Amino acid sequence: MAKVTELVRKLALPVAEEAGCELWDVEYVREAGTWFLRIYIDKEGGVDILDCEKVSRQLSDLLDEADPIEGSYTLEVSSAGAERPLKRPGDFERFMGSPVAIKLYKARDGRKEFAGTLAGYDNGDVTITVGDTRMTFARDEIALCRLRIEF
């Protein structure tokens, strides 16, 4: 059986596109005893509350009809955010050369967090440039890789 997120992604993709947005990610997580279905959208120039509302209303009706989730949950539709996580190969390709932050499961050289410029992606392994140094992190080392805003 397909995962909840995959089923919801299929329902949400045309809804987001119809609203002029890109479907960035779908999460189905349990927090403090409550299940949350989170839909993250993006578009050129940024997402506003009206975009989120439009996608939420249309998707809510589709979810009620298709009923892919047993039990109750809270539907949230929001912007992917400026410091969004990078997960899929296409995310890394799109943001090559951008500032990123990487968090590791285990410390390397006494640190679990590294910031640099995204310089490479190869089958899950991520390379960043920190000053003049290139660092490569294996897929199984990386807990999170996200865009980073520099001020």
* CATH number of the domain to which 139 belongs: 2.30.30.100
pLDDT tens per residue, range 105-136 = 999 999 999 999 999 999 999 999 999 999 99
How many domains does the structure of the chain reveal? 2
- Same domain, yes or no: 70 and 23: yes
- Same domain, yes or no: 57 and 95: no
Question: Is 95 part of a structural domain of the chain?
Answer: yes
Q: Cα separation of 96 and 113, whole Å?
A: 19
Domain that holds residue 101: 89-147
What pTM did the predictor assign? 0.83
Which pLDDT value is given to residue 111?
95
